Amino acid sequence: MSDLSNFESRSGELSCNSEEFFVFMTDIRNFERFIPNNSITNWYAEKEICSFSVSMLGKVTLSLAQKEKFTKIVFNGDALNKNDFSLTLNFSDGSGNLANVRAVLNADLNPVMKMIAAKPISQFLEMLINEMERFRDWKNTKE
């Protein structure tokens, strides 16, 4: 029997406000900008869905599932051919009208898989926040 496992990133401060972040991230084609080139292959994206391959996981699909204006975006994902995780971006404007973001990944994992996946998932969330903090081109969305 599987349990819902929750993994949460640290809070990151972005170089944009929450409105710019919301517009940018609700077009899933922009998500690729935060994934290092050497970590995925076979990237494919449309406005509300993307897929890519990750070693040891195979094909991963993300789709836009929910959006709450300027505060929250939820992506549902499947890997290993089952719908088994969600990635939530919670964000708000902080000091200087710059957005703060926190990523939360919920996955349907049995205890053994949770032990195996905990470190890679935590590393992914840290990398995601780091890349978002470095990014400066929020107004240049994919078309």
Q: Which CATH architecture has domain 3-134?
A: 2-Layer Sandwich (3.30)
DSSP 3-state assignment of 34? helix
- Cβ–Cβ < 8 Å for 70, 24: no
What φ, ψ does residue 10 adopt, rounded to 5°? -75, 170
Domain ranges of the chain: 3-134
Q: What is the pTM of this model?
A: 0.91
Strand intervals (E) in the chain: 3-8, 12-13, 41-46, 49-54, 58-68, 72-79, 82-93, 99-109
Q: What is the pLDDT of residues 97-121, one digit of tens each?
A: 899 999 999 998 888 888 888 898 8
Residue 1 has pLDDT above 50, yes or no: no
